[in-house]
């Protein structure tokens, strides 16, 4: 039933129709109690007449209403007035991604920021256990200032309408009884293979749908096409996306990102949208595959005089490493990116006398310790985000990235152990026990831990019994170990003398793990990388 302007549904006054979908009609309305504009989605009569279905929908709506994220359109509630069941939602001004794609493919500089925001929305929902199940361009809204809002999170879970006879890939949301395993849900052109088979959808189904969106944004074409909805479903199940149709001047990592998103088998797909989001951030920094270099700055001072400058040392060290790799592999002229990174509101470095900042080997991510937890910031992002799972580890110290930039190792003061955690967060895994470290590094497949007067330990990247690889004398301390590319030589800072003079007499040394031979590289220096 189409509602006319002026119709009242309790305190809500219908203003104008906005569109229709698989569940019902959507209207612009005014909340007369709160004096705000809202969107009203009136549920189709065949849904509203089924009490069991409505009951399940109400339970789902309560969970969805708890989602609170700037990239997700808020669900204010579900109402029942004069026999009408309807949803009250946040009204988002602007055009849908579907509207934008009608004008053709997007430049990569436009597509990636939108894709990044969609991934952020999915990540926030997945962390709450909510799967979208019906991600498509019509469910993505772009505001006039370029902000993205994803609509209808989780609503497809409770939709079970009769089969539709849509004849295009953009047919309304499909829902047909398929097998006893479940229902086919989602729009044909964007659903995952498991959904097309009628199997349950999980977070990896959203990752597949995300891949279809990103592919279409960049190429202007859907990856799986057909003349009818069954043709499209067949394409989803058996055909591979034409990744060769991607524009030729894009970062090669985009090709791999899409390939893994669009894997037919869920186990071979990206397993977490947070990893996808991190990869999109990396590509966004260099959409055409050109390196962005972090600046190198000044020399270091003795440790006892340094607190926050240790932070700068860590950034400079990794930047030099990244610069060296890029210089060796790309002889083309390089540009330098200079910027100032301020901590978030009410953030303070934790234990700034130790290493509390690290930069990823590829130079695109920064991790730091503030307010007793780890924060991650991509260089292209406007602000850092806390890494879930690090707030319960006392004061984390000495964060370092894995060589591929996907994992962070840190020392936990809560239980005096070395731990590892994915950059997307989760459960921190204990690698080994260790006293308060004097520098940590991760090179090749091993982690080195400076232990001061106890020397230097080597720990396998997946954990195990620490091995003492470098011992020191009673009046010496070892700090800041790093493994050289040969895998057999360690450089570190060696301090000698009394407690008062140790760091004034520091020197940078290199020691062979094969022969034990030690030689001085710089006398009167420290913190080499």
Q: Is 504 a catalytic residue?
A: no
- CA–CA separation, 320 and 360 (whole Å): 11
The three-point CA angle 506-507-508 to 5° equals 135
Which residue bears the tokens 């309408």? Answer: 161
- Which SS3 state, helix, strand or coil, does residue 409 take? strand
Distance of CA 497 to the CA centre of its chain: 47
And the tokens for 12? 């809500």
Candidates 92, 73, 480, 110; CA nearest to 302 is 480
Tell me how many helices (H) and strands (E) the chain has.
Answer: 10, 29
CA separation for the pair 330, 334 (Å, rounded): 9
What is the bridge-based pairing of β-strands 292-293 and 335-336?
parallel
> Pick from 24, 32, 26, 25: which is nearest to 8 by CA?
32
| Pure H helices in 30-173 | 45-48, 51-65, 97-101, 108-127
Do residues 412 and 396 make contact, with C-beta atoms less than 8 angstroms apart?
yes
Token duo for residue 202: 């999980």
What are the CA-CA distances from residue 125 to residues 64, 67, 470 (Å)? Answer: 9, 7, 47
Q: Are 153 and 117 in contact, with CB atoms under 8 Å apart?
A: no
Which of 350, 280, 353, 372 minimizes the C-alpha distance to 313?
A: 353
Whether residue 131 contacts residue 201, with contact meaning beta carbons closer than 8 Å, is answered with yes
Angle between helices 108-127 and 273-285 (to 10 degrees): 160
d(CA 207, CA 203): 7
Joined together, the tokens standing for residue 253 give 């990592």
Q: What is the C-alpha separation between 130 and 119, in angstroms, rounded?
A: 14
Task: Find the catalytic residue in 31, 50, 82, 134.
Answer: 134
* Residue-wise DSSP of 37-69: EEEEEEEPHHHHT-HHHHHHHHHHHHHHHT---
CA distance 354 to 516: 28
d(CA 99, CA 95): 6
Q: Distance (Å, rounded) from C-alpha 340 to C-alpha 18?
A: 44
CB 162 within 8 A of CB 178: no
For residues 403 and 442, the answer to whether their CB atoms sit within 8 Å is yes
| Pure H helices in 267-356 | 273-285, 309-329
State the catalytic residues: 134
């Amino acid at each position: 039933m189409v509602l006319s302007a002026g119709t009242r549904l309790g305190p809500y006054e219908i203003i104008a129709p906005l569109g229709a979908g698989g569940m019902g009609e959507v209207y612009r309305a005014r909340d007369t109690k709160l004096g705000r504009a809202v969107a009203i989605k009136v549920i189709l009569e065949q849904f509203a007449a089924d009490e069991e279905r409505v009951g399940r929908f109400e339970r789902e709506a309560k969970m969805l209403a708890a989602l609170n994220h700037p990239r997700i359109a808020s669900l204010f509630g579900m109402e029942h007035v004069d026999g009408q069941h309807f949803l009250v939602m946040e009204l988002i001004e602007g055009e849908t991604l579907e509207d934008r794609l009608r004008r053709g493919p997007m430049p990569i500089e436009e597509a990636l920021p939108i894709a990044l925001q969609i991934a952020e929305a999915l990540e926030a929902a997945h962390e709450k256990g909510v799967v979208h199940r019906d991600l498509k361009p019509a469910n993505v809204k772009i505001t006039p200032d370029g902000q993205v809002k994803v609509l209808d999170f989780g609503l497809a879970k409770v939709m079970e309408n009769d089969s539709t006879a849509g004849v295009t890939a953009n047919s309304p949301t499909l829902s047909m009884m398929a097998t006893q395993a479940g229902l086919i849900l989602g729009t044909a052109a964007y659903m995952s293979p498991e959904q097309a088979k009628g199997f349950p959808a999980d977070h990896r189904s959203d990752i597949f749908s995300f891949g279809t969106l990103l592919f279409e944004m960049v190429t202007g074409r859907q990856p799986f096409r057909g003349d009818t909805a069954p043709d499209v479903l067949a394409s989803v199940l058996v055909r591979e996306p034409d990744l060769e149709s991607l524009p030729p001047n894009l970062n090669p990592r985009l090709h791999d990102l899409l390939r893994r998103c669009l894997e037919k088998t869920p186990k071979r797909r990206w397993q977490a949208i947070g990893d996808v989001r991190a990869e999109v951030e990396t590509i966004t920094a260099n959409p055409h595959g050109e390196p962005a270099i972090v600046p190198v700055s000044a020399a270091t001072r003795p440790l006892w005089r340094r607190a926050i400058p240790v932070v700068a040392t860590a950034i400079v060290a990794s930047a030099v490493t990244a610069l060296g790799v890029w210089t060796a592999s790309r002889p083309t002229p390089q540009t330098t990116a200079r910027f100032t990174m301020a901590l978030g509101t009410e953030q303070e470095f934790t234990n700034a006398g130790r290493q509390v900042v690290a930069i990823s080997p590829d130079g695109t991510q920064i991790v730091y310790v503030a307010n007793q937890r780890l924060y991650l910031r991509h260089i292209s992002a406007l602000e850092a985000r806390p890494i879930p799972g690090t707030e319960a580890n006392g004061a984390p110290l000495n964060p370092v990235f894995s060589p591929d930039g996907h994992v962070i190792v840190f020392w936990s003061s809560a239980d005096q152990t070395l731990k590892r955690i994915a950059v997307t967060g989760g459960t921190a895994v204990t690698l080994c026990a260790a006293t308060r470290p004097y520098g940590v590094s991760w090179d090749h497949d091993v982690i080195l831990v400076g232990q001061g007067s106890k020397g230097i330990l080597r720990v396998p990247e997946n954990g195990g019994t620490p091995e003492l690889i470098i011992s020191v004398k009673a009046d010496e301390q070892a700090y800041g170990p790093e493994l050289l590319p040969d895998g057999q030589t360690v450089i570190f800072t060696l301090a000698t003398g009394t407690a008062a003079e140790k760091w004034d007499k520091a020197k940078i040394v290199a020691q062979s793990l094969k022969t034990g031979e030690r030689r001085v590289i710089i006398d009167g220096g420290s913190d080499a990388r």
